[in-house]
A and B are shown apart, each in its own frame.
Chain A
């Protein structure tokens, strides 16, 4: 049987894979992902090994090309999506990332495209988390939703409006961590006082626990810890330590209030929680839900779903980056 028809491409020529890259301060993860979101191969290396961004790009591309050759070949790969802190999806650059070692404006998309000969899209981590949830996670099938990320000491978000990510006029939308929940409240790293992030991030939780210990002489397991961190405080909660439970109650109440204000303005179908803080489970989520219902506008009370992401922490951002890769136009040096 004749399989080739002139002018009609055979199914083999369609590129069915993309690359997703998740650049974080400590670690860079990269993966080959197929149309259905199955990860075919995944690997990582320390970001901190490359203080010079040119060396980083060289090393990343070498590793990517090896991975492609081992998994069906370069010609099956359609495009590349990248998640990075402070990345601007409009310019394709990482712009003045506070915690990365590369300073200034880095035209990452252009650098990778020149090396790989494939189309490259970049976006920041909050935006990528939302794309990942929409494509393969808890927000699949939703048009209006919010994804909240509480990790790396921060509290960020991205929301979708009418099925599209809302990036705002300058690409800075979603800064829920820097909305004010308490006038003249706690000092935040951004310079303001009373930001939600100052209460509900990892640092906010630790600060709350320290304040509680200072407020009273009540005995607590927290007092015996050398270093306070999310999981240590959760462990104390599991042992029914009252101060630890109170710390999460306060953090959860503030979070519920902040999310209620968010939902009152946006009326989303769901708010999806991601990041390491979510590991606290019921200790955080119960007081959060209670404060949310107390403060949200009555028309949408009980109509907004609060969800915990179904995607694994290590996987959401490479999947999100791979979903972004499908959004760029195909490009090839050789055509």
Chain B
């Protein structure tokens, strides 16, 4: 009888530039088993796919067997859910267009869905996180880069060619800082990791005021945050300026999308109230007056890595089941 053989588990895979995490997840989002390995060990994508497939099969066999797995969802940078390919990822070791979904499906014999990390984060928040029950919301990831994804009427908005959400490359300062994308004044060049450090360096160069930041070599956003916690005024001002610009960007975003909430994720969001307070103040100051006080600014409750494996597992349920053996 078929009803006794319903497949109740999926595999979620999160490929990030340094590390690949994968997990077996059940219907309710419980992680049954998880593993990870270094992405950087595989400069050739064929070897990578072979190893990843073998590792997944080993994990699956140790946890209930292959026949209990319905499908696989994968999160990767620069992945297009429309083509199933990783397309010209800037920071991954594999260049060009990689048909990852097809490669994995051929090896494992299960349906494979692929999407990029920003969309997977939003899906993870929608299914298992702060955005549960929301139809219109934005998830913003602030780390090395600044990315986003929003849901419209309960569906993710991918855009015409799958590139929607490039929030980091909206302009906030006319003829401002040079951004890695080639343009000037992009929000990312102010509020992502490098931008924050640059703001700190500019402020240190502009005055003689003492600051704990001056003693640190190879300053990182985390160092700046530590200085804030020790009461360093200049470090606090760095985050205040960052938050001010982030708030303008978020206000513009919210004026267009009118979301129920904006959820911040990623390494920089860990700066907590040093960033969130000035960002919210600036958001409220610049948002369209009708929406003032109506858009929540939230800090994600999920662990970053866990969210992306969970999000990938949620994506896995969206593809039709497929089996080589049927």
Contacts and interface: CB of A to CB of B under 8 A. Distances in A.
A168 B161 contact: no
Interface residues of A, number: 44
Contact of A265 (B170, B181, B258): B170
Given A172-B258, A176-B255, A295-B183, A191 B136 contact: no
A162 B153 contact: yes
Interface stretch (B107-115, B229-237, B284-292): B284-292
B256 A174 contact: yes
Nearest to A174: B256
Dominant SS among interface residues on chain B: loop
A264 interface: yes
B153 A169 contact: no
A204 interface: no
Interface in B114-142: 134-136
Interface stretch (A1-9, A59-67, A298-306, A324-332): A298-306
B256 A262 contact: yes
Given A161-B152, A175-B256, A261 B286 contact: no
B248 A180 contact: yes
Interface stretch (A41-49, A206-214, A240-248, A266-274): A266-274
Nearest to A185: B174
A202 interface: no
Contacts of B162: 267
Contacts of B255: 175-176, 178-179
14 contacts: A166-B157, A172-B290, A179-B251, A191-B289, A260-B171, A261-B170, A262-B256, A265-B164, A265-B256, A267-B162, A267-B166, A297-B183, A298-B183, A299-B166
A322 B265 CA distance: 43
Interface centre among B159, B162, B181, B260 (most CB of A within 10 A): B159
A294 B134 CA distance: 35
A171 B166 contact: no
Contact of B136 (A143, A169, A180): A169
A164 B164 CA distance: 16
Contacts of B136: 166, 168-169, 173
Interface string A144-161: 100000000000010101
Given A179-B255, A265-B256, 12 more contacts: A143-B160, A162-B153, A167-B258, A168-B259, A170-B290, A173-B258, A175-B258, A190-B288, A257-B171, A265-B170, A267-B166, A297-B169
A26 interface: no
B252 A299 contact: no
B167 A264 contact: yes
A127 to B, nearest CB: 12
B161 A264 contact: no
A25 B256 CA distance: 25
Interface string B241-253: 0000000100111
A183 interface: yes
Nearest to A86: B290
B6 to A, nearest CB: 29
Given A162-B152, A174-B256, A265-B253, A169 B135 contact: yes
Contact of B286 (A161, A192, A264): A192
Interface in A92-120: none
Contacts of A262: 256
A182 interface: yes
Given A175-B288, A261-B171, A267 B248 contact: no
B263 to A, nearest CB: 14
A170 B291 contact: yes
Interface string A183-207: 1000000111000000000000000
B26 to A, nearest CB: 29
A171 B134 CA distance: 14
B171 A265 contact: no
Contacts of B189: none
A264 B160 contact: no
A265 B166 contact: yes
A178 B251 CA distance: 9
Most buried by A among B163, B255, B289: B255
B257 interface: yes
Nearest to A160: B152
Interface in B184-198: none
What 5 A-B pairs are tightest by C-beta distance, nearest first?
A: A168-B258, A267-B159, A161-B152, A173-B258, A267-B164
